[in-house]
Structure formats: C-alpha cells, structure tokens
C-alpha cells in the first residue's frame, strides 16, 4: 500500500488505519441497498442485481484505495438512481455494461456485396408483384426472369462479390452503361439500393446524387397503320412456300390478335376461350371460334400454356375492331395458336421471352414494316378510338391504367391513323339525343315501329 495518499487536495493518509477509518465513514454514506464489499485488496459494490434474489458483490473491482472508495461511491449513487427508474432487466444490463463496466461494444458493420445482394433478393421475394399485387414466389419462371432483368444483370457486373463495397467499384459498374440511356437510368436505381446497405450509406448516396442519371437517349418508337399491316399480312401469306404455310398462318394470326385485341404477343398463349366457352361465377363467355359469337370477348388467364405469367394478370379483352369484314379477312374466329415448347433446362428469362422473341424473329424474316411488336398493340388502341370505344374500356382491355393509355400510348400513335381519326370523326356514333334530333331533321317519323326498333337495337333500349 502506497504512503501519503492524497485526500481531495488537502491532508494525507499517513497509514493504513486512516484508510480504514475513511472506509467506515464512506460506507455510511452509500445509498440504501448498496454497500461496499472488501475482499483483501479488492473492493466491490454489493447490491441485489435486477433479476437476482441475493445481495452479491458485482464487478468492477475498484481497488481498496482512497480513489477506489470515491469512484465506487459515485457509481453507487448512479446505480441507485437507475434502479429507481428501472423499466426492464435487459435495459439495466445494457446500461450497467456500458456505463459502469465501461464495455464499449464495437459492432462489426462490415458487409460484402454478396451479403447486400442476398438482402435485396430476400426483400424482393417477400414482396408482391407490382402489377398483379400477388405474393411473389421464387419458383415462378416469370418472377425469376423479372428479378434477373431488374437486379441480376447489375449484380453480375460486380466481379468480386466477397469484397466490401467501395466507391470506385460502384462508380465503375454504373458507368459500364452509357450515361443518358435507359440502361444507365435503371442501373442507377439498383445501385442506389445497393449502397443503402453500406455502413457509409450517407456518403455513398451523396456521391451518387452528384451524377445525372436522367434518360436523354431514346430509341425510336415505331408505329404502323392498318393499311401497312394488312399489306404486310397479305404479302407474307402470298410469299409463303406451301410446306411453311401452317407455321406462317399461326404466327400471322398472333399478329392479327395483337392488332385486334391489343395483346402483348405472349398473352395470346394465356387465352381461355379460343375454341371452348369459358364459365366463371355463373357467366359463360362463348368461344372465339363460335360463329354465333358477336361480342368476341377474349378471356386471358394468369398463365400461358408454357408456364409463365402474363404481365398484368388475367383479364377480359374487348375487340378494338368492329369491322366484321376485317375480322373475317384476318381469320380472327379461326384460332391458330402456335406451338411453343421451350427447353426446360433454359434460364427462366429465356423461357419467358422465348415466345415473343420468336414472334419478333418472324416479323424480321417476313419483312414487316416494324420490328417492335408493341407497334401492333398501339395500333389496336387507335383502332378502338376510331371505332368509338371509350378510353376507360380500351385501357381495361389492354391491361393498363387510363393514365398510361393517355400518356405512353398516345405518344406512339401512327400518323396516318391519327389523320384518319380526325378526318373521319363525323362517322363516329352519335349519342341517342343527337340521333333523335338528326332523324327528326331529315323527316323520319319517330313513332314509326321500324324506327323505334332500330333505335332500340342500336342503343340497347330494352
């Protein structure tokens, strides 16, 4: 034991007996329920620790010295105050470890690209499909393909997944796409999500925010008029060799269905009533092939016949064409669905895109004026407008919102079709009130039974 221990700046302990006297005085000043516990040269505080039943000495060892007694006394009052405001044993344990024992737990916040990718993937599969609002499943071919299409292609650009993220890596991967393109914009969104999992996320996001990710380079959106489509359709049939005719007829029938119903190419493979009627909730919709079917409603299920889901889920589609002669010319009521058998060992994205890719290949081989199959879908929307089908009905049939129909689809309108819409506007159906006025103005007798019968049929006045 050292001699001449300093007492608060004045006076000295000349021997061990003086230290024992101070020990007794300090003991009497401790808060209720807490006492010193001297064990040789060691000094502890003794109290009932939350969660225990007995008063026991608890670490740390303060050391039997003047400084130790003072430090222990200070902590005794801190402990007593915490015990009085105790809300849980766990809370007290954490506080005691940090404030009394001085344990500064160092959290290992290191994370690798692989760990980040796993977190993103787990969150993806725990979510819902943004179009159908159904829970995602990692066994679904379309959802696997969608994940690869959104995240997988970005993840693959990182060469070492077991490395911790660095800004140089992040920037290098991002700029592996051309700035200003859609790919750059889409990848930026994924990379921003990646850096949000980094320990220095704030710094990374700040660096990303300095990069202009807006799309400035767009590919040309193709369009086709009805006349151009019919000319190509007829020529493709006429130029076909006999032993290829059946294949060509089936894929041209798909093209016609895209124009008439506004389908995405692979959606026709989810049709439920091509050759058989479809019944649900007591309502039966006739088969498309039924010659007595006048409404020609097409029912799409959620799944194609080759096991993939369609983009916006099952729906009922209305024909955007009301011209009976045109429907007959395109053999709409003579279904010829192509047979597509993907290799089961192929990657999900290859299976999902296979039908549409084959369709596009045929468009190119048969010298279609456009190579973007979506041009047929947009033509369909304009045909529906030409035939007076309300936009709400067109949007529902096409499988998207009115807002999308108003913005995206009108941007791709074909010039010739737009001119036809404007110049033929007078041929659009009249409202009932206006039709009555027009009939009266030209001398028709509205009390005539035949006139009444015609109005009832046209305006469904039953």
- Identify the bridge partners of residue 309 per DSSP, sorted by sequence position: 303
Residue-range domain boundaries for the chain: 5-100, 113-209, 226-427, 430-462
345-366: per-residue pLDDT in tens? Answer: 889 999 999 999 999 999 999 9
pLDDT, residue 452, reads 84
Let me know: does 190 contact 151? Beta carbons within 8 Å. yes
What is the C-alpha separation between 40 and 43, in angstroms, rounded? Answer: 8
pLDDT, residue 14, reads 54
What is the C-alpha separation between 224 and 415, in angstroms, rounded? Answer: 9
pLDDT, residue 426, reads 44
Let me know if 150 is exposed, middle or buried by CB neighbors in 10 A (0-12, 13-18, 19+). Answer: middle
Torsion of CA 97, 99, 103, 108, to 10 degrees: 100
pLDDT, residue 114, reads 96
80-135: per-residue pLDDT in tens? Answer: 999 998 888 888 988 998 889 888 766 667 899 999 999 999 999 998 888 788 88
What is the C-alpha separation between 138 and 151, in angstroms, rounded? Answer: 14
What's the rounded mean pLDDT across residues 328-349?
92
The matching CATH number, chosen from 1.10.3470, 1.20.1440, 1.10.10, 1.10.443, for 226-427 is 1.10.443
Let me know: does 116 contact 161? Beta carbons within 8 Å. no
Helices (H), 16-166: 16-28, 66-84, 89-95, 113-125, 141-147, 153-155
b/e for 358-387, b at 16 or more Cβ within 10 A?
bbbebbeebebebebbbbbbbbbbbbbbbb
Instruction: Choose among 423, 357, 426, 382: nearest CA to 229.
Output: 382
pLDDT band at 70 (very low <50, low <70, confident <90, very high): very high
pLDDT, residue 396, reads 87
Q: What percent of the chain has pLDDT over 90?
A: 63
What is the C-alpha separation between 151 and 79, in angstroms, rounded? Answer: 52
Does pLDDT of 342 surpass 50?
yes
194-234: per-residue pLDDT in tens? Answer: 999 998 899 999 999 999 999 999 888 899 999 999 999 99
Phi, psi for 250 (deg, rounded to 5): -65, -45
Better pLDDT: 15 or 154: 154
pLDDT band at 1 (very low <50, low <70, confident <90, very high): very low
pLDDT, residue 416, reads 62
pLDDT, residue 270, reads 96
What's the rounded mean pLDDT across residues 240-256?
95
pLDDT, residue 345, reads 81
What is the C-alpha separation between 144 and 451, in angstroms, rounded? Answer: 59
**Helix (H, G, I), strand (E, B), or coil: what is residue 49?**
coil
Going by their DSSP bridges, the two strands 278-280 and 55-58 should be labelled as unpaired
- Lowest mean pLDDT of 51-55, 60-64, 181-185, 442-446, name the range: 442-446
Let me know: does 201 contact 167? Beta carbons within 8 Å. no
What's the rounded mean pLDDT across residues 419-433?
58
What is the C-alpha separation between 359 and 221, in angstroms, rounded? Answer: 18
């Amino acid at each position: 034991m050292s001699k001449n221990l300093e007492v608060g700046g004045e006076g000295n302990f000349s021997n061990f007996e003086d230290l024992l006297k101070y020990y007794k005085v300090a003991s009497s000043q401790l808060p209720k329920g807490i006492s010193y516990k001297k064990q040789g040269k060691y000094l502890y505080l003794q109290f009932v620790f939350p969660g225990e039943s007995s008063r026991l000495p608890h670490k740390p060892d303060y050391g039997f010295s003047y400084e130790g007694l003072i430090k222990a006394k200070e902590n005794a009052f801190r402990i007593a105050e915490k015990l009085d405001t105790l809300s849980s044993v766990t809370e007290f344990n954490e506080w005691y470890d940090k404030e009394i024992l001085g344990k500064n737990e160092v959290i290992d916040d290191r994370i690798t690209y692989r760990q980040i990718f796993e977190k993103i993937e787990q969150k993806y599969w725990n979510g819902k499909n943004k179009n159908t609002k159904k829970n995602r499943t990692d066994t679904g071919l379309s959802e696997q393909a969608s994940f690869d299409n959104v995240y997988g292609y970005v993840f693959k650009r990182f060469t070492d997944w077991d490395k911790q993220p660095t800004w140089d890596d992040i920037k290098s991967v991002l700029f592996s796409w051309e700035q200003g393109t859609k790919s750059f914009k889409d990848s930026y969104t994924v990379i921003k999500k990646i850096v949000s999992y980094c320990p220095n996320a704030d710094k990374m996001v700040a660096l990303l925010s300095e990069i202009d990710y807006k799309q400035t380079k767009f590919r040309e959106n193709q369009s086709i008029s009805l006349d151009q489509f019919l000319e190509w359709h007829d020529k493709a049939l006429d130029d076909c060799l006999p032993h290829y005719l059946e294949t060509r007829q089936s894929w041209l029938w798909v093209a016609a269905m895209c124009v008439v119903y506004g389908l995405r190419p692979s959606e026709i493979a989810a049709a439920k009533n091509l050759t058989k009627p479809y019944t649900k909730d007591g309502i039966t919709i006739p088969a498309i092939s039924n010659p007595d079917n006048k409404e020609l409603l097409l029912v799409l299920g959620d799944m194609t016949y080759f096991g993939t889901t369609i983009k916006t889920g099952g729906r009922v589609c209305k024909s955007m064409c009301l011209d009976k002669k045109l429907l007959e010319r395109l053999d709409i009521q003579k279904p010829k669905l192509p047979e597509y058998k993907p290799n089961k060992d192929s990657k999900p994205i290859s299976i999902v895109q296979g039908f549409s890719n084959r369709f596009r290949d045929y468009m190119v081989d048969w010298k279609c004026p456009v190579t973007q199959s979506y041009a047929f879908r947009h033509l369909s929307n304009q045909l529906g407008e030409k035939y007076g089908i309300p936009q709400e009905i067109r949007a529902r049939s096409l499988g998207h919102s009115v807002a999308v129909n108003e913005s995206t689809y009108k941007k791709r309108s074909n010039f010739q079709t737009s001119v036809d819409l404007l110049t033929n506007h007078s041929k659009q159906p009249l409202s009932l009130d206006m039709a009555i006025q027009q009939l009266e103005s030209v001398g028709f007798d509205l009390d005539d039974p035949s006139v009444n019968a015609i109005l009832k049929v046209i305006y469904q006045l039953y």
